[in-house]
Amino acid sequence: MLRRVSPHLLLRSLAAALAIGGVGVWLATGAHRGWTRTSEVEMRRDEVTGIDYPVRRDKFTAGIEFPFAALGGAALLAIGAALLRPRERSSGPAGTP
């Protein structure tokens, strides 16, 4: 039997997954503290002439905006979860249910 998941619990779980995922991608790709880079320049030396020359190769490195965006999105989801939290029902005046 399937159990229904409450919306605030789902949003909280998504917020945690987004925060962990964003920081994890940033750490896994090198924890670069600048902007995101999609290529890297590597210097090579010509064997015959001895001259150094740059070679650009494709390499994705997530920048500092990656974890900040993930944490910001997670904060928005957490705020949404707090707003969807079920409110406690108040009983009527004293002595009446």
Look at residue 53 in the predicted model and tell me its pLDDT. 94
Look at residue 91 in the predicted model and tell me its pLDDT. 61
Q: What is the pLDDT of residues 34-79, one digit of tens each?
A: 999 999 999 999 999 999 999 999 999 999 999 999 999 999 999 9
Domain range list for the chain: 7-84
Q: What is the pLDDT of residues 17-44, one digit of tens each?
A: 999 999 999 999 989 999 999 999 999 9
Band of pLDDT at residue 89, cut at 50, 70 and 90:
low
- C-alpha to C-alpha distance for 30 and 72, rounded to whole angstroms: 21
